[in-house]
A and B are shown apart, each in its own frame.
Chain A
Amino acid sequence: AQTVTQSQPEMSVQEAETVTLSCTYDTSESDYYLFWYKQPPSRQMILVIRQEAYKQQNATENRFSVNFQKAAKSFSLKISDSQLGDAAMYFCAYRSLKMNYGGSQGNLIFGKGTKLSVKP
């Protein structure tokens, strides 16, 4: 079974600085998707960025970018020019391309999250 590990329960960054959140995962599959979700205090889950495993190029969305290291099974999120509104829980998630019944395969598997604080 696939697992997702976020080793940093909490992180802090100064406004306008850069911060990197870590995520590692374990899988025997070669094709899959990886995601970073943001959950602000409102608790609404918001998709930040996604990465297809078959793409070598790292995904980028404005101030958010990832460092995807497939061989190392690492998927870190870099937030540049941090803003107060970036303060939230951040979840790394894995999704297999397989759609098998009887379990969570084919669905999102989440890490336990990293709480990011942004200091003014």
Chain B
Amino acid sequence: DGGITQSPKYLFRKEGQNVTLSCEQNLNHDAMYWYRQDPGQGLRLIYYSQIVNDFQKGDIAEGYSVSREKKESFPLTVTSAQKNPTAFYLCASSIALAGGYYEQYFGPGTRLTVT
């Protein structure tokens, strides 16, 4: 089945440690995205990538880093510089359809808890 996978579903880390969240898609989508979701905040864009080896900061990129070495993969690293890393992280990908419309598909998410 085609889709987006994120692993693991739950992740626990100690404060001060970097942690990498995995996102893989087999939909052959060019664009991929990372969102952060906090209670009462909706989804906020962290980073996005329109093409391999290129990515751009979103609205809340501080304390995060990404890479896009392969079309299928867009891992997100939460660094120790991120002040409040505990959150739910969603990965998405999109494909361009007719008329400039991009439909985003979401992965199941990773719940990161840092103590």
- Hey, which bits of chain A sit against chain B, CB under 8 A? 4, 9, 33, 42-47, 50, 52, 91, 95, 97, 99, 101-104, 107-108, 110-113
Contact = CB atoms under 8 A, between A and B. Distances in A.
A4 B101 CA distance: 19
B108 A108 contact: no
B19 interface: no
B2 interface: no
Interface residues of B, number: 25
> Interface of chain A, helix or strand or loop or mixed?
loop
Given A42-B108, A104-B58, A47 B42 contact: no
B48 A107 contact: yes
Given A45-B90, A102-B56, A103-B58, A110 B106 contact: no
A47 B103 contact: yes
Contacts of A46: 106
Contact of B56 (A47, A101, A113): A101
B59 A104 contact: yes
A6 to B, nearest CB: 8
B43 interface: yes
Interface in B78-115: 88, 90, 92, 99-104, 106, 108-109
